[in-house]
Amino acid sequence: MSQTQTKPRRSLGAKALIAAPYLWLLVFFLAPFLIVLKISLSEVAVAMPPYVPTFDLASGWSAFVEKLSDLSFENYIWLTEDDLYWKSYISSVVIAGISTFITLLVGYPIAYGMARSPKAWRPTLLMLIILPFWTSFLIRVYAWIGILKNEGLLNQLLLWVGVIDQPLVILNTNTAVYIGIVYSYLPFLVLPLYASLEKLDDSLLEAAEDLGCPSWKAFWKITFPLSIPGMIAGCFLVFIPAVGEFVIPDLLGGSNTLMIGKTLWVEFFSNRDWPVSSAVAVLLLLLLVIPIVLFQNYQQKMQEKQA
Amino acid sequence: MAKKAIGPVRRTFTPWEDSTATPFIEFQNVTKRFGDFTAVDNLSLKIYEREFFALLGGSGCGKTTMMRMLAGFETPTEGSILIDGQDMHGVPPYKRPANMMFQSYALFPHMSVEANIAFGLKQDRMSKADIAARVTEMLRLTKLEAFGKRKPHQLSGGQRQRVALARALAKKPKVLLLDEPLGALDRKLREETQFELMNIQEELKTTFLIVTHDQEEAMTVADRIAVMDAGKIMQCATPSEIYETPNSKFVADFIGDINLIEARVVSKSEDGTIMDAPRIGCRIDSSQTTTVSVGDTVWYAMRPEKVRIELGETETPEINQVGAEVWDIAYLGDVSIFHSRVGEAEETSLRSTIANVTRLVERPLTWEDRVTLSWGRDAGVILSK
Ligand SMILES: Nc1ncnc2c1ncn2[C@@H]1O[C@H](COP(=O)(O)OP(=O)(O)O)[C@@H](O)[C@H]1O
Ligand SMILES: [Mg+2]
């Protein structure tokens, strides 16, 4: 944006409209974040709430400033000392990364098939992709326990078909977590990818074929490169929430499945250490800020390119 | 309408008159149906090597479908298509010796101009050096040297059109298919590009097949034109033949401006035909011999520039001559078109043109002038109904 331009005068109504999203962010994101940040700098205590110091708005400004000095970075130092935390962070990123990749492998053919299907079918197919959102996420993940457990549907089927003679141990392993994430986040990848594949002009493929390129090759030369923006958008939409995922590793993962969301939960509910879990949350946010900013930059660049 | 030289006066190139010449492209009784809609109807057509051939017709008459069947994107429902003597049935688009310039240009948005042009060459596993040389040559041919590194979205419409042309020509196809190549350009650029296309065709000696709905464009560039209507070819001939001797009312009406006069054949001989045209109240004497029998009604079609207009009315209507009243004048710059009402009761009017040879200070004729319209024995053509 160029700064030298004189700012256009805006009416009060327009200002209010522009202010609305900022107000929203302030109330629902920044304020809670500041509270969490403050707790992360506090000390655990056997009290209600279980940390000190607590600020009391009634006691005035000087008391507030005085208590500020009680805050410390001790919890953050603690996080670096116990390797559970950074191992959880790394493991989360790895699991989210692998899951995103598998989601892409599964989602691409789905999105491609949808984009190539007859026009009349497309709304129905789109509906089917969105359909799972109509049931609770928790219940859907829970249902996977019934499918994946030793005497579950999957093992029963495989035993009956005769592919295996021992039930496969899938539940409570990382494999189950991958399955859970791929299943849950698939629509987030398919939708943007479908959007970019669908607007691809058929005549480009015909032109490629006309110039001596068989259709399978035209896919790699034309369709694939032109779907990269949709692929990147979809991957971010899967990766970012998957890093902080708690429900899936908790329900489907095993005791050795390390994910930061789970570590945080244990810290918060089992150890009742609010300050440390807040510190974990703040670091998780910082960790995710990097891909989010990358994603934002990328989207902006794409929009500028299209303009 | 007859503003330009009719057709390219370039060379004495008339392979279609030679019955022993083998056609380069041949449509043999080709029919194409989409569901129960017939887009191309039992159509046969021969196009010769090095010819610049135009398919001309209104929107939806099946021009693009013809092109797409030739390129291999559609399969004829019936009949066969031959290129260079080879039946194209079952030959996929990427193996056909034809390249197409798409109506939408279909440039690859993620590739530079150079990469777009090189695309087809890479499929042939040409060496890097050869590809680079060919790309440079094509950039020169289409005057795009300065734009090789740009992406399609950084080009103007005219430049994109030239990239599409360069890309289609890069592989030295035996046939270049152009689907409304200039449709998106403004008038001036379109006219320039028409001449460029002709020069390029001269230089490369490739067979060009162009699809257009613009008759002036077809007339300017093509050696021969096929006028299409509803999946059929109405007439296939040189631009001047199509203009001067249309074979049907449809073609006469479609190409340029024409007076269509309803007439009844009174007598016919070796020497010509005499017709009675009650609507304009005169007799028409034509040097054309006709197969129509005496008593039949026909259309006598006559271009406006073939009709002389003079001030002052004749006393009595004579052969090839009527009295009329000027009731509308259209000034087109180079010529003026006069609409003159013939007879009293009817709204029958004849159009005639006068070239504006001097700067128009005073019109030689003005509204409501009584005039005489006359024409020669070979001014028009007789079209059976
Ligand atoms: N794939 C298709 N399915 C159904 N109808 C089609 C298809 N392609 C073309 N048509 C129809 O065939 C007719 C001729 O189309 P086209 O060859 O594109 O005409 P134009 O002469 O304008 O290029 C049109 O009426 C069009 O609607
Ligand atoms: Mg068309």
Sign of the dihedral defined by the CA atoms of residues B254, B255, B258, B264, in that order? negative
Residue A256 lies in a domain: yes
Q: How many CB atoms lie within 10 A of CB B147?
A: 21
Asked whether residue A102 carries a pLDDT value surpassing 90, the answer given is yes
- For residue A106, the model assigns a pLDDT of 97
- For residue A94, the model assigns a pLDDT of 95
Query: Which comes out higher in pLDDT, residue A89 or B318?
Result: A89
Q: What is the DSSP letter of B22?
A: P
The residue in chain A having the minimum alpha-carbon distance to the alpha carbon of residue B94 is A212
Distance B230 CA to ligand 1 centre (A): 10
pLDDT in tens, A138-196: 999 999 999 999 999 999 999 999 888 898 999 999 999 999 999 999 999 999 999 99
Check: CB of residue B234 under 8 Å from CB of residue B228.
Answer: yes
Ligand 1 and B374: CB distance under 6 A = no
Distance B180 CA to ligand 2 centre (A): 7
Q: What's the CATH fold of domain B257-384?
A: OB fold (Dihydrolipoamide Acetyltransferase, E2P) (2.40.50)
**Which residue has its alpha carbon closest to ligand 1 atom 14?**
B62
Percent of all residues in chain A with a pLDDT value above 70, rounded to a whole number: 96
- What is the CATH architecture of B17-249? 3-Layer(aba) Sandwich (3.40)
Confidence of residue B36 (pLDDT cuts 50, 70, 90): very high
Query: Which comes out higher in pLDDT, residue B348 or B215?
Result: B215
Establish how many alpha carbons lie within 13 A of residue A2's alpha carbon, considering only the half-sphere containing its beta carbon: 3
Closest-CA distance, B94 to chain A, in angstroms, reads 4
Ligand 1 and B34: CB distance under 6 A = yes
Query: What's chain B's average pLDDT?
Result: 88
Lowest mean pLDDT among A49-63, B60-74, B117-131, B257-271: A49-63
Confidence of residue B5 (pLDDT cuts 50, 70, 90): very low
- For residue A25, the model assigns a pLDDT of 84
Q: How far is CA B121 from the centre of its chain?
A: 32
* A203 shares contact with chain B (CB less than 8 Å): yes
DSSP letter string over B216-237? HHHHHH-SEEEEEETTEEEEEE
Query: Which comes out higher in pLDDT, residue B290 or A10?
Result: B290
- For residue B210, the model assigns a pLDDT of 94
Establish how many alpha carbons lie within 13 A of residue A141's alpha carbon, considering only the half-sphere containing its beta carbon: 21
| Residues of chain A contacting B83 with CB distance shorter than 8 Å | none
Give the mean model confidence (pLDDT) for residues B227-236: 94
The Cα A298–Cα B43 span in angstroms is: 53
- For residue A221, the model assigns a pLDDT of 93
Q: Please provide residue B275's backbone torsions phi and psi, each rounded to the nearest 5 degrees.
A: -125, 155
* A211 shares contact with chain B (CB less than 8 Å): yes
Residue A285 lies in a domain: yes
B297-302 and B380-384 beta bridge pairing: antiparallel
Closest to B124 (Cβ–Cβ): which among A210, A212, A214? A212
Alpha helix ranges (H) inside chain B: 63-71, 113-123, 128-141, 157-169, 187-204, 215-221, 239-244, 249-254
C-alpha distance from residue B332 to each of B243, B310, B356 (Å): 20, 19, 9
Which residue carries 């202010």 as its tokens?
A19
Nearest to A84 by CA among A271, A303, A289: A271
Confidence of residue B2 (pLDDT cuts 50, 70, 90): very low
**Domain range holding A129?**
88-306
Confidence of residue B193 (pLDDT cuts 50, 70, 90): confident
Which residues are within 8 A (CB) of B172 and not within 5 positions of it... i.e. 6 or more apart?
B204, B206
DSSP letter string over B154-194? GS-HHHHHHHHHHHHHTT--SEEEEESTTTTS-HHHHHHHH
Check: CB of residue B6 under 8 Å from CB of residue B55.
Answer: no
DSSP run (H or E) holding B290: none
Distance B39 CA to ligand 1 centre (A): 6
> Domain limits of chain B?
17-249, 257-384
Check: CB of residue A238 under 8 Å from CB of residue B149.
Answer: no
Residue A242 lies in a domain: yes
Lowest mean pLDDT among A12-21, A118-127, B251-260: A12-21
Give the mean model confidence (pLDDT) for residues B125-152: 92
Confidence of residue B40 (pLDDT cuts 50, 70, 90): very high
- For residue B317, the model assigns a pLDDT of 65
- For residue B39, the model assigns a pLDDT of 95
Ligand 1 and B65: CB distance under 6 A = yes
- Same CATH fold, B257-384 and B17-249? no
Residue A5 lies in a domain: no
| Residues of chain B contacting A214 with CB distance shorter than 8 Å | 92, 94
Nearest to B101 by CA among B65, B52, B63, B67: B67
DSSP run (H or E) holding B260: strand B259-269
Ligand 1 and B61: CB distance under 6 A = yes
B259-269 and B272-277 beta bridge pairing: antiparallel
* A206 shares contact with chain B (CB less than 8 Å): yes
Q: How far is CA A249 from the centre of its chain?
A: 14
Asked whether residue B344 carries a pLDDT value surpassing 70, the answer given is no
pLDDT in tens, A273-282: 999 999 999 9
CATH code for the domain in which residue A136 is found: 1.10.3720.10
Q: How many CB atoms lie within 10 A of CB B49?
A: 16
Asked whether residue B370 carries a pLDDT value surpassing 90, the answer given is no
Give the mean model confidence (pLDDT) for residues A77-87: 88
* Ligand closest in space to the Cα of B181: 2
Q: What b/e string do you get for A37-62 counting C-beta neighbours within 10 Å, with b at 16 or more?
A: ebbbbbebeeeeebbebeeeeeeeee
Give the mean model confidence (pLDDT) for residues B19-34: 92
Distance A263 CA to ligand 2 centre (A): 63
Establish how many alpha carbons lie within 13 A of residue A278's alpha carbon, considering only the half-sphere containing its beta carbon: 22
* Ligand closest in space to the Cα of B32: 1
Count contacts between A and B (CB, < 8 Å): 62
| Residues of chain B contacting A208 with CB distance shorter than 8 Å | 108, 119
Distance B45 CA to ligand 1 centre (A): 19
Lowest mean pLDDT among A211-225, A242-256, B11-25, B151-165: B11-25
- For residue B363, the model assigns a pLDDT of 67
The residue in chain B having the minimum alpha-carbon distance to the alpha carbon of residue A203 is B106
- For residue B335, the model assigns a pLDDT of 86
Check: CB of residue B50 under 8 Å from CB of residue B203.
Answer: no
The Cα B30–Cα A41 span in angstroms is: 82
Q: In this predicted complex, what is the ipTM?
A: 0.81
Query: Which comes out higher in pLDDT, residue B302 or B20?
Result: B302
Lowest mean pLDDT among A5-14, A216-225, B106-115, B226-235: A5-14
The most distant pair of C-alpha atoms in chain B lies apart, rounded to whole Å, by 81
Check: CB of residue B180 under 8 Å from CB of residue B212.
Answer: yes
Give the mean model confidence (pLDDT) for residues B304-315: 85
B370-374 and B321-331 beta bridge pairing: antiparallel
Ligand 1 and B157: CB distance under 6 A = no
* Contact (CB<8Å) A204/B108: yes
- For residue B1, the model assigns a pLDDT of 38
The Cα B209–Cα B163 span in angstroms is: 18
Query: What's chain A's average pLDDT?
Result: 89
Query: Mutate which of B30, B31, B59, B65 to test ligand 1's pocket (most atoms within 8 Å of Cβ)?
Result: B65
Asked whether residue A132 carries a pLDDT value surpassing 60, the answer given is yes
Return the bridge partners of B237, or none: B225
DSSP letter string over A121-179? GHHHHHHHHHGGGGS-HHHHHHHHHHHHSTTSHHHHHHHHHTS-SS----TTSHHHHHH
